Structure 1
Amino acid sequence: MSRYFNIFFWEYDFYKPQLLWLLLVIPVLLFFWEFLQKNRTGQLKYANSEKEQLAYSVKWVRYIRWGITSFYAFSMACLVFVFAEPYNNSIDPPKIDYKNGIDIILSIDASGSMLAQDFDPNRLEVAKRVAKKFVDSRKGDRVGLVVYEGEAYTACPATLDYKLLKEQISAIEPGHLEPGTAIGSGLGVAVTRLRSDSLISKVIILLTDGSSNTGPEPLEVAELAKAKKCRVYTIGVGADGMAPTPVNTPFGVVYQNLPVEIDEGVLKEIASATNGKYFRAQDEKSLEKIYAEIDKLEKRKMEDQHLAAEPPLTLFPFFIWSMIFSLIAWGVQRLKFKLDD
């Protein structure tokens, strides 16, 4: 029963919090009320002003008046809280079902530059390691894998078989496709792998360390993703400056310090067009934080869409206490001061 009389306002949220500014008016009203009471005479049984009453050694009258004023203040404050429309989510928290409705496709760049060693041991191995941790963090979501270089293919369709998916992630290696970085192809294949009947969310996490140099125009594919209501999170992988990068030469593969060239402008536009977000990962730790943030963003979107209705108003506690405080103040006035009619 105590929750029905709970007026600990810090435990509530308010639909109209701007009305709480009215609390500042209460001290002003009480000041004028007290000023008038001090200067009124002849109405109360203890007639004349408060100063004259004190001269007759009735000091307790002042404390009773302060008590009455305080109770009226509490009553008005409770009414202000009523007008601000309080609600308390902790009483009946919404039940969130995480088992159905989300499809996620990981689209990972496997071009030769992903073997650059500005990550330990290289970008691709770190991307694979962190992606597998992300898969382990999902609960009941279908997750798939697209791999791309100069072209793209589906390494694993969206599935709940996370063991199989992680095996496919581990198997990613460069050199199995045409050379190059076809961001548009990686995004396009991912869009086609998302089921049209996903109920809650369709998400693509596209990771690359470079700029598109072959395949379809990425921004055109982004419009297709937008039309199919796919949200795309883009991740640019690579440290600032130069990075030891493998280069094919007549004498075999050698590592040269080459500039990190991520087309962040295109990645940002892809994310913006699809209501996603762009991230930059400069080391393994930052990449882990990015996946963790994406995880939180998607769970928050699920919760927002699972809330069938706004939480109910919780007016009763504040209203009933407003009445109680008013009745106490009024009753003390009638019993102790015997107001004349």
Structure 2
Amino acid sequence: MIYDWLKNITFIWPENFILLGIVPFLIWRYAKKANRDSGSFKASAINSQTPATFKTRFRHLPFIFRILSITCLIMALARPQYQTQKSRSEGEGIDIVLCMDVSGSMGTTDVQPSRFQVAREVAIDFVKNRPVDRIGLVIFAGESFTKCPITPDKNTVLNQLQTLKIMDGGYLEIGTLIGEGLAMSVNRISKGSSKSRVVILLTDGKEDAPPTRIIDPEMAMEIAKANNVKVYCVGLGSATSTSEQMVKDVAGNMVRNYIDEALLTRIATSTGGRYYRATDKASLQAIYGQIDQLEKSKVEIIRYKQIQEMFIPLVLAALAFIVIEVLLKYTLFKKFP
């Protein structure tokens, strides 16, 4: 704690520290004078040494306080300041909804440690790097669900991402409803006031809809276009996941391993976005980095300093040491001719 405080101390006129060179000279001069003024005599008695008293033990104390006083004054002349730097981000942000597939196939381990864990980790890093945007989180499997409404509170979004699970802990139906996930994302983002609205839709499969489906992907795409929502689509999975096959997920269940690239490309291009293919964590990080560059917010970082002058306590300390020296010199250590 003391170290953290000291590292924020700066000296405006550090060249004045050269005056500290007078301190060794004063010590040398005092020692020389003390040796010259001390008296001595020869005695033949066996117990010739004078017993030590308070005055003899602490006779140098007034001089020590004088040196402390001079040191404090020189440090005050260097003008120490305690400075703390703070920053605040302001600007025009973008409304972004992360639309994430949490179906069972996201537990597949062809992308280590699993597709889902990689998608979650990269999304967390993406949110941390967007200082002024409003971000929401929509998840989908056999049904869609708003995990976090669009909000400027990054901690809320990060908390929801960090606690997110496949199938949201088993509460969602089995399936992959890309259309309804996108439609719900557009519904959430269309209520915002930002001029720029973006949905990042990440999935590892194709539309696998139960009979209860209400909105298909084509309809969701038209809804996005009508609301001027730009959709970036990301297909996550190994290179073999573009050909339809059945694989085991992390729980041992057989799931369809197929990314409908044609559908995702159509959704992205028709809404003014792009389609990306991620085969591992590094490529997914690169994709989010590209999206981050394409959708830049107008950010103004305001930095300011808080400065507290510290020379006044040093001057007061120097005066206190001088007063103590004078009191000791003319009371306890007073010399008589």
The reply to whether TM is greater than 0.5 is yes
Where does residue 249 of structure 2 map in the other structure? 246
1:220 deviation in Å?
A: 1.3
Give the distance between the partners of 1:101 and 1:241, measured in 2 at CA. 38
Post-superposition offset of 1:161: 1.4
Structure 1: how far apart are the matches of 2:99 and 2:194? 21
2:196 to 188, 191, 201: 201
Residue in 2 that maps onto 1:278? 275
Q: Which residue number in structure 2 is paired with residue 124 of structure 1? A: 116
Q: How big is each residue's C-alpha offset from its partner over 1:4-33, in whole Å with a ceiling of 9 and x where there is no partner?
A: xxxxxxxxxxxxxxxxxxxxxxxxxxxxxx
What displacement does 1:260 show? 3.1
Q: Is the 8 A contact 1:184 1:217 kept in 2?
A: yes
Match of 1:34 in 2: none
**In the TM superposition, what are the counterparts of 1:232-311 in structure 2 within 5 Å?**
232-241=231-240, 245-246=248-249, 253-254=251-252, 260-299=257-296
Q: Please give the per-residue CA displacement for 1:284-313, whole angstroms capped at 9, x wherever unaligned.
A: 00000000000100118x69xxxxxxxxxx
Structure 2 CA distance for aligned equivalents of residues 162 and 197 of structure 1: 16
1:103–1:203: 8 Å Cα contact kept in structure 2?
A: yes
Aligned to 1:330: none
Moved more, 195-204 or 217-226: 195-204
Instruction: Map 1:5-84 onto structure 2 (within 5 A).
Output: none
Corresponding residue to 1:210 among 205, 214, 225:
205
> Is the Cα contact below 8 Å between 2:190 and 2:227 reproduced in 1?
no
Residue by residue, what CA displacement relative to the aligned partner does 1:175-210 show, whole Å, maximum 9, x if unpaired? Answer: 321100000011011011114453330000000000
Name the aligned partner's letter for residue 252 of structure 2: V
Please say if 1:136 is aligned against 2:134: no
* Distance 1:195-1:241 versus aligned 2 partners, 3 A rule: closer
Percentage of pairs with the same residue = 42
CA distance in structure 2 between the partners assigned to 1:241 and 1:203 by the alignment:
29
The amino acid across from 1:158 in the alignment is I
Q: Secondary structure at the match of 1:276?
A: coil
For the residues of structure 1 that align with 2:135 and 2:159, how far apart are their CA atoms?
A: 13
Secondary structure, aligned partner of 1:156: strand
Kept in 2, the 8 Å contact 1:240–1:260? The answer is: no
CA distance, structure 1, for counterparts of residue 187 and residue 147 of structure 2: 13
Task: Report whether the alignment pairs 1:231 with 2:230.
Answer: yes
Root-mean-square deviation (CA, aligned residues, Å) is: 2.2
Name the CA shift for 1:197/1:109 in 2 (closer, same or farther; >3 Å).
closer
Structure 2 residue identity aligned to 1:299 = K
Number of residue pairs matched? Answer: 200
Q: CA deviation at 1:254?
A: 2.1
Check whether the contact 1:206–1:234 (CA below 8 A) recurs between aligned residues: yes
* Letter aligned with residue 153 of structure 2: D
SS where residue 226 of structure 1 aligns?
A: helix
Identify if the C-alpha distance between structure 1 residues 187 and 98 changes in structure 2 by more than 3 Å, giving closer, same or farther: farther
The correspondence of residues 98-177 of structure 1 with structure 2, limited to 5 A, is 99-173=91-165, 174=167, 175-177=170-172
Q: What SS does the corresponding residue of 1:108 show, helix, strand or coil?
A: strand
Stretches of 4+ aligned residues off by more than 3 angstroms: none
Deviation per residue, 1:190-243 (Å, 9 max, x gap): 011114453330000000000001132102111111110000000000001269
Cα distance in structure 1, aligned partners of 2:90 and 2:264: 29
2:183 is the alignment partner of 1:188:
yes
Please give the secondary structure, in 2, of the residue aligned with 1:299.
coil
Instruction: Say if 1:264 and 1:203 are closer, same or farther in 2 by CA, change over 3 A.
Output: same
Report the CA distance between 1:98 and its aligned residue. Answer: 6.4
Report the AA paired with residue 200 of structure 2. Answer: I
Whether the aligned pair in 1 keeps the contact of 2:103 and 2:140 (CA below 8 Å) is: yes
CA distance in 1, matches of 2:103, 2:256: 16
Structure 1 Cα separation of the partners of residues 103 and 113 of structure 2? 16
Aligned mates of 1:197, 1:209 — CA distance in 2:
28
The answer as to whether partners of 2:205 and 2:256 remain within 8 angstroms in 1 is no
CA contact (8 A) 1:114 1:122 kept: yes
Is the CA contact (8 Å cut-off) linking 1:241 and 1:259 kept in structure 2?
A: no
Runs of 5+ consecutive residues of structure 2 not aligned to the other structure = 1-88, 300-337
Conserved 8 A contact 1:99-1:139: no
**CA distance in structure 2 between the aligned counterparts of 1:213 and 1:169, rounded to whole angstroms:** 24
How far off its partner does 1:259 sit?
A: 6.7
Q: Which amino acid aligns with 2:260?
A: D
Query: TM (normalized to structure 2)?
Result: 0.56
Name the larger-Rg structure. 2
Answer whether contact 1:102 1:198 (CA < 8 A) is retained. no
